[in-house]
Structure 1
Protein backbone atom coordinates (compact mmCIF):
# COMPACT_ATOMS: atom_id res chain seq x y z
CA UNK A 1 0.00 0.00 0.00
CA UNK A 2 1.33 3.42 -0.90
CA UNK A 3 1.46 6.23 1.64
CA UNK A 4 -1.02 8.99 0.94
CA UNK A 5 -0.67 12.63 1.73
CA UNK A 6 -3.50 14.13 3.74
CA UNK A 7 -4.29 16.42 0.82
CA UNK A 8 -4.82 13.56 -1.66
CA UNK A 9 -6.96 11.69 0.87
CA UNK A 10 -9.12 14.80 1.25
CA UNK A 11 -9.46 15.63 -2.47
CA UNK A 12 -12.97 15.76 -3.85
CA UNK A 13 -13.76 12.93 -6.28
CA UNK A 14 -15.08 15.41 -8.84
CA UNK A 15 -15.86 12.90 -11.59
CA UNK A 16 -17.76 10.66 -9.17
CA UNK A 17 -19.73 13.61 -7.83
CA UNK A 18 -20.65 14.89 -11.30
CA UNK A 19 -21.72 11.48 -12.58
CA UNK A 20 -23.66 10.72 -9.39
CA UNK A 21 -25.44 14.09 -9.50
CA UNK A 22 -26.34 13.52 -13.16
CA UNK A 23 -27.73 10.07 -12.35
CA UNK A 24 -29.76 11.47 -9.45
CA UNK A 25 -31.21 14.12 -11.77
CA UNK A 26 -31.94 11.55 -14.49
CA UNK A 27 -33.62 9.06 -12.15
CA UNK A 28 -35.62 11.84 -10.46
CA UNK A 29 -36.83 13.13 -13.84
CA UNK A 30 -37.71 9.61 -15.04
CA UNK A 31 -39.57 8.81 -11.82
CA UNK A 32 -41.55 12.06 -11.93
CA UNK A 33 -42.37 11.48 -15.61
CA UNK A 34 -43.75 8.03 -14.83
CA UNK A 35 -46.24 9.54 -12.37
CA UNK A 36 -48.35 10.65 -15.34
CA UNK A 37 -48.79 7.06 -16.56
CA UNK A 38 -51.29 4.46 -15.45
CA UNK A 39 -50.17 2.30 -12.55
CA UNK A 40 -49.88 -0.75 -14.78
CA UNK A 41 -47.80 0.97 -17.45
CA UNK A 42 -45.55 2.66 -14.89
CA UNK A 43 -44.88 -0.35 -12.65
CA UNK A 44 -41.57 -1.44 -14.18
CA UNK A 45 -40.19 2.06 -14.88
CA UNK A 46 -41.02 3.13 -11.31
CA UNK A 47 -39.30 0.07 -9.84
CA UNK A 48 -36.17 0.62 -11.93
CA UNK A 49 -35.97 4.37 -11.37
CA UNK A 50 -36.67 4.11 -7.64
CA UNK A 51 -33.94 1.49 -7.27
CA UNK A 52 -31.53 3.54 -9.41
CA UNK A 53 -32.30 6.71 -7.45
CA UNK A 54 -31.74 4.92 -4.13
CA UNK A 55 -28.41 3.50 -5.28
CA UNK A 56 -27.27 6.88 -6.64
CA UNK A 57 -28.24 8.64 -3.40
CA UNK A 58 -26.43 5.98 -1.38
CA UNK A 59 -23.34 6.48 -3.53
CA UNK A 60 -23.53 10.24 -2.96
CA UNK A 61 -23.76 9.72 0.81
CA UNK A 62 -20.76 7.38 0.73
CA UNK A 63 -18.74 9.92 -1.27
CA UNK A 64 -19.58 12.67 1.21
CA UNK A 65 -18.89 10.48 4.26
CA UNK A 66 -15.52 9.42 2.86
CA UNK A 67 -14.65 13.05 2.14
CA UNK A 68 -15.65 14.15 5.63
CA UNK A 69 -13.88 11.30 7.42
CA UNK A 70 -10.72 11.98 5.45
CA UNK A 71 -10.43 8.50 3.97
CA UNK A 72 -9.91 8.02 0.30
CA UNK A 73 -12.42 6.17 -1.83
CA UNK A 74 -9.86 3.40 -2.14
CA UNK A 75 -9.39 2.89 1.60
CA UNK A 76 -12.28 0.46 1.88
CA UNK A 77 -14.75 0.12 4.69
CA UNK A 78 -14.98 -3.53 5.50
CA UNK A 79 -17.06 -5.94 3.50
CA UNK A 80 -15.37 -5.91 0.12
CA UNK A 81 -11.62 -5.54 -0.22
CA UNK A 82 -10.69 -2.68 -2.51
CA UNK A 83 -7.83 -3.32 -4.93
CA UNK A 84 -5.06 -0.91 -5.68
CA UNK A 85 -6.38 1.53 -8.33
CA UNK A 86 -3.31 0.92 -10.47
CA UNK A 87 -4.23 -2.77 -10.61
CA UNK A 88 -7.91 -2.17 -11.43
CA UNK A 89 -8.53 -2.84 -15.14
CA UNK A 90 -11.72 -0.74 -15.12
CA UNK A 91 -9.90 2.32 -13.80
CA UNK A 92 -7.17 1.69 -16.35
CA UNK A 93 -9.70 1.43 -19.19
CA UNK A 94 -11.44 4.66 -18.23
CA UNK A 95 -8.22 6.59 -17.68
CA UNK A 96 -6.54 5.47 -20.91
CA UNK A 97 -9.48 5.42 -23.34
CA UNK A 98 -8.94 7.93 -26.09
CA UNK A 99 -11.34 10.41 -27.63
CA UNK A 100 -12.27 7.96 -30.39
CA UNK A 101 -13.23 5.21 -27.92
CA UNK A 102 -15.38 7.63 -25.91
CA UNK A 103 -17.00 9.02 -29.06
CA UNK A 104 -17.83 5.55 -30.39
CA UNK A 105 -19.28 4.46 -27.05
CA UNK A 106 -21.40 7.58 -26.72
CA UNK A 107 -22.57 7.19 -30.33
CA UNK A 108 -23.80 3.65 -29.58
CA UNK A 109 -25.66 4.90 -26.51
CA UNK A 110 -27.22 7.74 -28.49
CA UNK A 111 -28.18 5.36 -31.30
CA UNK A 112 -29.92 3.09 -28.80
CA UNK A 113 -32.02 5.93 -27.40
CA UNK A 114 -32.84 7.28 -30.86
CA UNK A 115 -33.90 3.75 -31.80
CA UNK A 116 -36.13 3.56 -28.72
CA UNK A 117 -37.81 6.81 -29.72
CA UNK A 118 -38.23 5.97 -33.40
CA UNK A 119 -38.81 2.19 -33.36
CA UNK A 120 -39.92 1.33 -29.83
CA UNK A 121 -38.35 -1.07 -27.38
CA UNK A 122 -39.51 -4.34 -28.95
CA UNK A 123 -37.89 -3.50 -32.28
CA UNK A 124 -34.86 -1.55 -31.03
CA UNK A 125 -33.56 -4.04 -28.47
CA UNK A 126 -33.04 -6.94 -30.90
CA UNK A 127 -31.80 -4.70 -33.75
CA UNK A 128 -29.38 -2.88 -31.48
CA UNK A 129 -28.14 -6.17 -30.03
CA UNK A 130 -27.54 -7.58 -33.49
CA UNK A 131 -25.78 -4.45 -34.75
CA UNK A 132 -23.62 -4.02 -31.66
CA UNK A 133 -22.53 -7.64 -31.51
CA UNK A 134 -21.69 -7.76 -35.22
CA UNK A 135 -20.09 -4.34 -35.69
CA UNK A 136 -18.36 -3.68 -32.38
CA UNK A 137 -17.79 -7.03 -30.72
CA UNK A 138 -17.36 -8.78 -34.08
CA UNK A 139 -19.27 -11.82 -32.87
CA UNK A 140 -20.32 -14.47 -35.35
CA UNK A 141 -23.59 -14.13 -37.25
CA UNK A 142 -24.93 -17.22 -35.51
CA UNK A 143 -24.29 -15.84 -32.01
CA UNK A 144 -25.47 -12.34 -32.90
CA UNK A 145 -28.75 -13.49 -34.45
CA UNK A 146 -29.40 -15.98 -31.64
CA UNK A 147 -28.72 -13.39 -28.95
CA UNK A 148 -30.92 -10.79 -30.68
CA UNK A 149 -33.73 -13.32 -31.13
CA UNK A 150 -33.60 -14.32 -27.46
CA UNK A 151 -33.70 -10.66 -26.40
CA UNK A 152 -36.68 -9.93 -28.68
CA UNK A 153 -38.65 -13.01 -27.67
CA UNK A 154 -37.89 -12.54 -23.98
CA UNK A 155 -39.02 -8.91 -23.98
CA UNK A 156 -42.19 -9.74 -25.90
CA UNK A 157 -43.13 -12.77 -23.79
CA UNK A 158 -42.38 -11.18 -20.43
CA UNK A 159 -43.86 -7.73 -20.96
CA UNK A 160 -46.58 -8.23 -23.56
CA UNK A 161 -47.84 -11.74 -22.78
CA UNK A 162 -47.06 -12.55 -19.14
CA UNK A 163 -47.21 -9.17 -17.43
CA UNK A 164 -49.41 -7.49 -20.05
CA UNK A 165 -47.48 -4.30 -19.42
CA UNK A 166 -47.62 -2.07 -22.47
CA UNK A 167 -44.16 -1.29 -23.77
CA UNK A 168 -43.49 2.17 -25.16
CA UNK A 169 -44.15 2.40 -28.88
CA UNK A 170 -41.83 4.28 -31.16
CA UNK A 171 -42.79 6.92 -33.67
CA UNK A 172 -42.85 4.31 -36.46
CA UNK A 173 -43.88 1.12 -34.63
Structure 2
Protein backbone atom coordinates (compact mmCIF):
# COMPACT_ATOMS: atom_id res chain seq x y z
CA UNK A 1 0.00 0.00 0.00
CA UNK A 2 1.29 3.43 -0.90
CA UNK A 3 0.34 6.83 0.38
CA UNK A 4 0.75 10.06 -1.55
CA UNK A 5 3.43 12.35 -0.27
CA UNK A 6 1.89 15.70 0.64
CA UNK A 7 4.52 18.09 -0.77
CA UNK A 8 5.51 16.48 -4.04
CA UNK A 9 2.49 14.39 -4.93
CA UNK A 10 4.64 11.27 -5.34
CA UNK A 11 3.77 8.05 -3.64
CA UNK A 12 5.90 6.31 -1.02
CA UNK A 13 5.51 2.75 0.20
CA UNK A 14 3.52 2.41 3.44
CA UNK A 15 5.67 2.23 6.57
CA UNK A 16 8.55 4.27 5.13
CA UNK A 17 9.37 7.84 5.86
CA UNK A 18 9.12 10.37 3.06
CA UNK A 19 12.46 11.62 1.75
CA UNK A 20 13.92 14.64 3.51
CA UNK A 21 13.43 17.88 1.63
CA UNK A 22 16.51 19.08 -0.22
CA UNK A 23 18.15 21.99 1.53
CA UNK A 24 17.84 25.33 -0.17
CA UNK A 25 21.09 26.27 -1.91
CA UNK A 26 22.98 28.98 -0.11
CA UNK A 27 23.40 32.20 -1.99
CA UNK A 28 25.86 34.99 -1.59
CA UNK A 29 25.72 38.62 -2.64
CA UNK A 30 29.14 40.17 -2.62
CA UNK A 31 29.81 43.72 -3.72
CA UNK A 32 33.20 43.88 -5.48
CA UNK A 33 34.22 47.11 -3.79
CA UNK A 34 37.83 47.15 -4.98
CA UNK A 35 36.82 46.63 -8.62
CA UNK A 36 34.21 49.37 -8.40
CA UNK A 37 36.58 51.86 -6.77
CA UNK A 38 39.35 51.17 -9.29
CA UNK A 39 36.93 51.48 -12.18
CA UNK A 40 35.61 54.80 -10.88
CA UNK A 41 39.16 56.12 -10.43
CA UNK A 42 39.96 55.05 -13.98
CA UNK A 43 36.78 56.73 -15.24
CA UNK A 44 37.80 59.92 -13.45
CA UNK A 45 41.25 59.81 -15.06
CA UNK A 46 39.70 59.30 -18.49
CA UNK A 47 37.26 62.17 -17.84
CA UNK A 48 40.12 64.46 -16.80
CA UNK A 49 42.06 63.59 -19.94
CA UNK A 50 38.94 64.17 -22.03
CA UNK A 51 38.42 67.58 -20.43
CA UNK A 52 42.06 68.48 -21.08
CA UNK A 53 41.77 67.41 -24.73
CA UNK A 54 38.72 69.67 -25.14
CA UNK A 55 41.05 72.67 -24.92
CA UNK A 56 43.08 71.51 -27.93
CA UNK A 57 42.34 72.22 -31.54
CA UNK A 58 39.90 69.95 -33.32
CA UNK A 59 42.63 68.22 -35.27
CA UNK A 60 45.00 67.69 -32.35
CA UNK A 61 42.26 66.67 -29.91
CA UNK A 62 40.25 64.32 -32.11
CA UNK A 63 42.06 61.08 -31.31
CA UNK A 64 42.53 61.79 -27.57
CA UNK A 65 38.87 62.75 -27.21
CA UNK A 66 37.75 59.56 -28.96
CA UNK A 67 39.95 57.33 -26.80
CA UNK A 68 39.21 59.03 -23.49
CA UNK A 69 35.48 59.34 -24.21
CA UNK A 70 35.34 55.65 -25.01
CA UNK A 71 37.36 54.97 -21.86
CA UNK A 72 34.84 56.85 -19.69
CA UNK A 73 31.91 55.01 -21.26
CA UNK A 74 33.47 51.56 -20.94
CA UNK A 75 34.59 51.99 -17.34
CA UNK A 76 31.16 53.27 -16.30
CA UNK A 77 29.59 50.34 -18.15
CA UNK A 78 31.92 48.03 -16.23
CA UNK A 79 30.76 49.57 -12.93
CA UNK A 80 27.13 49.09 -13.95
CA UNK A 81 27.77 45.43 -14.79
CA UNK A 82 29.52 44.90 -11.45
CA UNK A 83 26.60 46.45 -9.57
CA UNK A 84 24.05 44.34 -11.46
CA UNK A 85 26.02 41.16 -10.80
CA UNK A 86 26.21 42.02 -7.10
CA UNK A 87 22.41 42.33 -6.93
CA UNK A 88 21.73 38.86 -8.33
CA UNK A 89 22.33 36.06 -5.85
CA UNK A 90 24.87 33.49 -6.87
CA UNK A 91 24.59 29.95 -5.51
CA UNK A 92 27.57 28.99 -3.40
CA UNK A 93 29.05 25.79 -4.70
CA UNK A 94 31.13 24.02 -2.13
CA UNK A 95 33.68 21.73 -3.60
CA UNK A 96 37.17 20.74 -2.74
CA UNK A 97 39.69 22.33 -5.08
CA UNK A 98 43.07 20.77 -5.56
CA UNK A 99 46.04 22.89 -6.57
CA UNK A 100 46.21 20.91 -9.81
CA UNK A 101 42.60 21.83 -10.63
CA UNK A 102 43.38 25.56 -10.81
CA UNK A 103 43.79 26.94 -14.28
CA UNK A 104 47.32 28.29 -14.25
CA UNK A 105 46.56 30.62 -17.14
CA UNK A 106 43.60 32.14 -15.29
CA UNK A 107 44.15 35.81 -14.42
CA UNK A 108 42.92 35.42 -10.85
CA UNK A 109 45.24 32.46 -10.31
CA UNK A 110 48.21 34.37 -11.67
CA UNK A 111 47.55 37.42 -9.49
CA UNK A 112 46.99 35.28 -6.40
CA UNK A 113 50.09 33.13 -6.86
CA UNK A 114 52.65 35.48 -8.41
CA UNK A 115 55.62 36.01 -6.16
CA UNK A 116 57.53 39.18 -5.45
CA UNK A 117 60.10 38.41 -8.11
CA UNK A 118 57.44 38.10 -10.81
CA UNK A 119 55.81 41.37 -9.73
CA UNK A 120 59.19 43.15 -9.67
CA UNK A 121 60.04 41.85 -13.14
CA UNK A 122 56.68 43.01 -14.55
CA UNK A 123 56.96 46.44 -12.98
CA UNK A 124 60.52 46.77 -14.30
CA UNK A 125 59.29 46.09 -17.86
CA UNK A 126 56.58 48.73 -17.45
CA UNK A 127 59.02 51.28 -16.04
CA UNK A 128 61.49 50.55 -18.84
CA UNK A 129 58.80 51.20 -21.43
CA UNK A 130 57.86 54.60 -19.99
CA UNK A 131 61.47 55.68 -19.48
CA UNK A 132 62.23 54.63 -23.06
CA UNK A 133 59.14 56.49 -24.26
CA UNK A 134 60.41 59.67 -22.60
CA UNK A 135 63.95 59.28 -23.92
CA UNK A 136 63.48 57.82 -27.42
CA UNK A 137 59.87 58.59 -28.37
CA UNK A 138 56.98 56.42 -29.45
CA UNK A 139 58.14 55.33 -32.90
CA UNK A 140 61.44 54.00 -31.57
CA UNK A 141 60.46 52.50 -28.22
CA UNK A 142 57.20 50.77 -29.18
CA UNK A 143 58.76 48.38 -31.72
CA UNK A 144 61.96 48.03 -29.69
CA UNK A 145 60.00 47.22 -26.55
CA UNK A 146 57.77 44.76 -28.40
CA UNK A 147 60.81 43.00 -29.81
CA UNK A 148 62.72 42.75 -26.53
CA UNK A 149 59.73 41.85 -24.39
CA UNK A 150 58.42 39.17 -26.72
CA UNK A 151 61.84 37.64 -27.29
CA UNK A 152 63.34 37.75 -23.80
CA UNK A 153 60.38 37.74 -21.42
CA UNK A 154 57.68 35.88 -23.34
CA UNK A 155 60.30 33.67 -25.05
CA UNK A 156 58.72 33.81 -28.50
CA UNK A 157 60.70 33.11 -31.66
CA UNK A 158 62.86 35.76 -33.32
CA UNK A 159 60.68 35.65 -36.42
CA UNK A 160 57.47 36.35 -34.48
CA UNK A 161 59.14 39.04 -32.33
CA UNK A 162 60.56 40.91 -35.34
CA UNK A 163 57.29 40.61 -37.28
CA UNK A 164 55.30 41.90 -34.30
CA UNK A 165 57.71 44.81 -33.80
CA UNK A 166 57.47 45.74 -37.49
CA UNK A 167 53.67 45.56 -37.37
CA UNK A 168 53.67 47.74 -34.25
CA UNK A 169 55.76 50.39 -35.99
CA UNK A 170 53.60 50.24 -39.12
CA UNK A 171 50.31 50.59 -37.23
CA UNK A 172 51.56 53.50 -35.11
CA UNK A 173 53.13 55.30 -38.07
CA UNK A 174 50.09 54.85 -40.29
CA UNK A 175 47.69 55.92 -37.53
CA UNK A 176 49.50 59.02 -36.27
CA UNK A 177 51.56 60.27 -39.20
CA UNK A 178 49.49 59.24 -42.21
CA UNK A 179 45.84 58.98 -41.13
CA UNK A 180 45.60 61.54 -38.33
CA UNK A 181 48.63 63.64 -39.33
CA UNK A 182 49.41 64.24 -35.67
CA UNK A 183 52.95 64.95 -34.60
CA UNK A 184 54.19 62.47 -32.03
CA UNK A 185 56.72 63.71 -29.47
CA UNK A 186 60.08 62.43 -30.70
CA UNK A 187 61.62 61.87 -27.28
CA UNK A 188 64.43 63.54 -25.41
CA UNK A 189 67.28 62.62 -27.74
CA UNK A 190 65.59 62.55 -31.15
Give the structure-2-normalised TM-score.
0.69
Structure 1 residues 85-124: aligned runs within 5 Å:
89-124=106-141
Unpaired stretches in structure 1, ≥5 consecutive residues: 75-85
Query: Following superposition, which runs of at least 4 residues in structure 1 exceed 4 angstroms of deviation?
Result: none
**Residue 20 of structure 2 is aligned to residue 40 of structure 1:** no
Q: CA deviation at 1:70?
A: 4.7
Count matched residues: 155
Q: CA deviation at 1:116?
A: 2.3
Instruction: Please give the root-mean-square deviation of Cα atoms over the aligned residues, in Å.
Output: 2.5
Structure 1 residues 10-159: aligned runs within 5 Å:
10-67=29-86, 69-72=87-90, 89-159=106-176
What does the per-residue CA deviation read over 1:99-125, in whole Å, with 9 as the maximum and x for residues that have no partner?
222222222223222222222211121
Q: Aligned pair in 2 of structure 1 residues 71, 119: CA closer, same or farther (>3 Å)?
A: farther
Report 1 or 2 for greater relative contact order, CA contacts < 8 Å, sequence distance ≥ 6. Answer: 1
Q: Aligned pair in 2 of structure 1 residues 117, 32: CA closer, same or farther (>3 Å)?
A: farther
Structure that is richer in helix per residue: 1
> How many angstroms apart in 2 are the aligned matches of 1:53 and 1:152?
27
> How many angstroms apart in 1 are the aligned matches of 2:125 and 2:37?
22
Unpaired stretches in structure 2, ≥5 consecutive residues: 1-24, 93-101
What does the per-residue CA deviation read over 1:32-87, in whole Å, with 9 as the maximum and x for residues that have no partner?
232232221221121111111111011112223333x2535x9xxxxxxxxxxx66
Q: Aligned pair in 2 of structure 1 residues 30, 112: CA closer, same or farther (>3 Å)?
A: farther
Greater Cα radius of gyration, structure 1 or 2: 2
Q: CA deviation at 1:15?
A: 2.8
Give the structure 2 partner of residue 81 of structure 1.
Answer: none
Give the structure-1-normalised TM-score.
0.75
